[in-house]
């Protein structure tokens, strides 16, 4: 298996990207990594690192798709960028999965124009796994498309349902639509129309979900537009970091709390791991004809390591075939 990695995408590239890939190789066998980007800068990071040189290759490129670039123009004109070259390699079958922490807009445009959309898909979306009471949910869209029309919300719901089925083997997953209230008359017109369309669909639709409902486990798939979804995702990340900072401060306040911390260490570490965005980062772009994973722009080496391991698991499974088959059935 070959995992293609955009070594130049993200705020901490290439250092964190390369270091995370090296750490992933140390943890698991069975795959190789092709780092795509400026060979001189990549080699500089690799110098002194301990790794199996037979498992890392470098594909030299001379350009980078930046966050400030106009996505369509960048993908069209920066043909030798790490992102565009990586997506073309995926399309050509030179790798099994492509990972990037670079420009979200650029990755969306590149994935849809180079890798192409699955049949019947209007706009792909990001699907992020979020922990809930007693389980997990998929949040779609978690950041690709800032606005939606009613039909697109339904499209996301079907993609999310197929993803949940493929990832967790959840039969007939429950689908909820994010709104400011549970009453039928609440919300903007496009949400009301999407609510109507979902009721008429074959989805296992459970209705509106308010922000306070998201962690209650009331739905397996939570549907919203990319703007709201990304805000939800970032609030969760920020809140979890704040919570653990406060808990740590409380538990190390005095001798009594330190003794209590010793008894709670295992449980707290388990909860922290469940909520840690660096461990749970990386979301596939649902609806494209290949496995493309977006890692957040501020990814560090720990994040990249876990995203690579997630990519390995997904690429080695029947994930993409299940997505295609499940979406066709729906």
Q: What is the reported pLDDT for 174?
A: 95
Same domain, 147 and 270: yes
328 lies in some domain: no
In the structure, what pLDDT confidence band is assigned to residue 327 with cuts at 50, 70 and 90? low
Residues 291 and 181 in one domain: no
Would residue 12 count as lying in a domain? yes
**Rounded mean pLDDT, 21-31:** 95
Backbone torsions φ then ψ of 174, nearest 5 degrees: -80, 135
pTM across the whole model: 0.85
Helix 150-168 with 319-329: angle, nearest 10 deg? 130
**What's the CATH number where 136 sits?**
3.40.718.10
What is the pLDDT, as a whole number, of residue 94?
97
Q: What percent of the chain has pLDDT over 70?
A: 97
CB 315 within 8 A of CB 323: no
246, part of any domain? yes
Q: Are 193 and 239 contained in the same domain?
A: yes
Q: Where in the chain does DSSP place strands (E)?
A: 2-6, 32-37, 56-60, 97-100, 125-132, 135-140, 174-178, 204-209, 221-223, 283-286, 292-294
Residue 175 falls inside a structural domain: yes
pLDDT greater than 80 at residue 279: no
Enclosing domain of residue 231: 125-278
Q: Tell me, what's the pLDDT at 18?
A: 97
**pLDDT of 50 above 80:** yes
Average pLDDT, the chain: 89
Q: Give the model's confidence band at 290: pLDDT under 50 very low, under 70 low, under 90 confident, else very high.
A: very high
165 & 105 share domain: no
Do both 12 and 24 map to the same domain? yes
Q: Is the pLDDT score of 46 beyond 90?
A: yes
User: How far, in Å, CA of 299 to CA of 308, rounded?
Assistant: 12
Say whether both 133 and 273 belong to one domain.
yes
Nearest 10 degrees: CA dihedral of 313, 136, 225, 200? 110
Q: How much is the pLDDT for 302? A: 93
**164 in the same domain as 77:** no
Phi-psi region of 257 (alpha: psi -120 to 50; beta: other; left: phi over 0): alpha
- Split into its structural domains, the chain has a count of 2
**327 in any annotated domain:** no
Are 83 and 178 contained in the same domain? no
Residue-wise pLDDT tens digits, 156-197: 999 898 888 877 888 899 999 999 988 888 889 999 999 999
Is the same domain home to 216 and 274?
A: yes
Calculate the alpha carbon distances from 224 to 25, 142, 274, 323 in Å: 36, 8, 23, 20
User: Regarding beta strands 2-6 and 32-37, do their DSSP bridges make them parallel or antiparallel, or are they unpaired?
Assistant: parallel
pLDDT surpassing 70 at residue 330: no
> Cβ distance 154 to 194 under 8 Å?
yes
Token pair listed for 322: 């299940």
Query: Would you say residue 52 lies in a domain?
Result: yes
Q: How many residues in total does the chain contain?
A: 330
Please tell me the predicted confidence (pLDDT) of residue 164.
Answer: 86
Same domain for 140 and 55, yes or no, is: no
**pLDDT tens per residue across span 217-250:** 899 999 999 999 999 988 888 887 888 788 878 8
């Amino acid at each position: 298996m070959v995992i293609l990695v955009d070594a130049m995408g993200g705020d901490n590239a290439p250092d964190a990207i390369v270091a995370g890939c090296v750490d992933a190789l140390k943890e698991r066998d069975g795959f190789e990594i092709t780092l795509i980007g400026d060979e001189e800068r990549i080699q500089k990071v690799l110098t002194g690192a301990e790794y199996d040189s037979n498992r890392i290759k470098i594909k030299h490129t001379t350009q980078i798709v930046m966050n400030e670039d106009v996505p369509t123009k960048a993908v069209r004109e920066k043909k030798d960028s790490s992102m565009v070259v990586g997506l073309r390699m995926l399309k050509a079958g030179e790798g099994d999965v492509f990972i990037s922490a670079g420009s979200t807009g650029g990755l969306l445009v590149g994935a849809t124009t180079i890798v192409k959309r699955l049949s019947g898909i209007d706009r792909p979306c990001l699907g992020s796994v979020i922990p809930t009471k007693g389980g997990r949910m998929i949040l779609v869209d978690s950041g690709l498309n800032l606005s939606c029309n009613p039909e697109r919300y339904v499209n996301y719901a079907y993609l999310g349902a197929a993803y949940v089925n493929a990832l967790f083997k959840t039969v007939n997953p429950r689908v909820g639509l994010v709104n400011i209230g549970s009453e039928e008359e609440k919300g903007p017109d496009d949400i009301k129309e999407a609510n109507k369309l979902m009721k008429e669909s074959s989805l296992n639709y459970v209705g509106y979900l308010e922000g306070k409902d998201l962690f209650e486990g009331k739905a397996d798939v939570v549907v919203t537009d990319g703007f709201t979804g990304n805000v939800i995702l970032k609030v969760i990340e920020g809140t979890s970091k704040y919570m653990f900072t406060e808990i740590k401060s409380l538990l190390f306040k005095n001798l009594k709390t330190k003794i209590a911390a010793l008894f709670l260490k295992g449980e707290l570490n388990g909860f922290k791991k469940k909520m840690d965005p660096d461990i749970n980062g990386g979301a596939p772009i649902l609806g494209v004809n290949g496995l493309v994973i977006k890692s957040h722009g501020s990814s560090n080496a720990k994040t990249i390591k876990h995203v690579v391991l997630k990519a390995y698991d997904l690429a080695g499974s029947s994930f993409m075939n299940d997505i295609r088959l499940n979406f066709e059935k729906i």
